[in-house]
Amino acid sequence: MPVEYLKKADLTAQSDAGDVRDIVQTILSDIEKGGDEAALRYAEKFDKYTGNIELTKEEIEAACALVPQKLKDDLQFAHDNVRRFAEAQKSTMHDVEYEIVPGLIAGQKSIPVAAAGCYVPGGRYSHIASAIMTVTTAKVAGCKHIVACSPPRPDVGIAPAIVYAAHISGADKILALGGVQGVAAMAFGLFGLPKANILVGPGNQFVAEAKRILFGRVGIDMIAGPTDSLILADKSADPLVIATDLVGQAEHGYNSPVWLVTDDRGIAEEVMRLVPGLIDDLPELNRVNAAAAWRDYAEVILCSDREEMAATSDLYAPEHLTVQAEDLPWWLDRLACYGSLFLGEETTVAFGDKASGTNHVLPTSGAANYTGGLSVHKYMKIVTWQKATREGSKAVAEATARISRLEGMEGHARTADVRLKKYFPDEEFDLTANG
């Protein structure tokens, strides 16, 4: 039977995308032309900040001193977990050397990019954990220069906890710049920085659009839209836990979709009853965001069985996917499209967002259909190499010459011809296209 929507969204994450491209392109062009001075003008205009852009060692130490010890301990705990998981990821990458045919050897090598630019949001919420997620993975990957860039608050600067998190994670430089001007500073190598080879980290629609425009000139992790989360639940699930998890993700923003997919009508109805009360109990800013997200973007979907639930989830390809259901190994094996998977009631998206070790920079808006989240692999270039003996090059040169001539690429063919004539002067070869 077709799935039944007990609650259907009026909007999608793309409904409020707006046309920010022209604004962002203008800012990027101004900063590329005007350099440091242009970036400073935009910092004063948008961040209302005229302080030091590149934090000095003394400023970093002063900011770190303001962070309470208990928070330092928590951030160190999160950093250690993210580092250990990133190291485990890196251990899966091996250089390869393989003899394709006798005398012809090809290889694969993993090389970290030289310079990484890590954007750390600091507007509506201070995304302290984002500093850990982005900088730590770049450090483990082996990037030689890592910049952390975060919006300053007027006459204050970057939140001390963000400075501390970026510092312990291994940032070489910390910039007090927000929005497009921060992204531009890293991409264009302003303020004496090396130009970033890759830009990573979440941000608002202007940050996302800046990364989109710059992609190609620099690498990016992904183009992120509003965060989204989906929960798969069967009769064994706890409605209060489900409702709390949905509200916890909805507080990200007014346009952050949350979805519940279940095969139990009672669970669905109880969750829908509980959510409004949980939203009302939040602090004001969180409440406003969660209420709008639940009202306009949330969906509750009733399926006939777990296979239909899994198929529905794969269609949505959520950024965060939680399974609160029996037989977790079945779900792990069956599910295919998600940014990060949380199996069982004992874990939740917030654990991954903050401290459990997996990365929270993840594909949104259905991008999990074709990509995963940020990892050490994003900072690595997988390159290939080859070498050959003269005898080993013989067969490949013959094939190359004939294929090249068939394609009409005579210059390519002659690079093979010259080697065959040099290495095997006494042999005759048929190197025509129809040979």
Quote the distance between the C-alpha of residue 250 and its chain's center.
Answer: 20
Query: Which residues partner with 225 through β-bridges?
Result: none
Own/partner long-range contacts of 279-286 (Cβ < 8 Å, ≥24 apart):
279/247, 279/250, 282/247, 282/251, 285/124, 286/251
Catalytic status, residue 284: no
Q: How far is CA 107 from CA 91, 98, 388, 416, in A?
A: 18, 6, 12, 21
CA angle 386, 388, 394 (to 5 degrees): 125
Q: Which of 311, 310, 318, 202 is nearest to 258 (CA)?
A: 318
- State the helix-helix crossing angle for 21-42 and 205-214, rounded to 10 degrees: 100
The span from the CA of 192 to the CA of 390, in Å, is 48
Residue 181's contacts (CB-CB under 8 Å, 6 or more residues apart) are: 27, 31, 39, 42, 43, 46, 47
Instruction: Determine contact, residues 149/119, Cβ cutoff 8 Å.
Output: yes
The question of whether 269 is a catalytic residue gets the answer no
Given 61, 319, 407, 428, which residue is catalytic?
319
Do 114 and 194 touch, CB atoms closer than 8 A? yes
The residue to which tokens 């994670």 are assigned: 169
Give the three-class secondary structure for 147: strand
Residue tagged active-site, from 270, 320, 398, 427: 320
As given in the structure block, the two tokens for residue 93 are 């990458």
Q: Which residues contact 159 (CB under 8 A, 6 or more apart)?
A: 122, 126, 128, 150, 153
* Catalytic residue list: 319-320
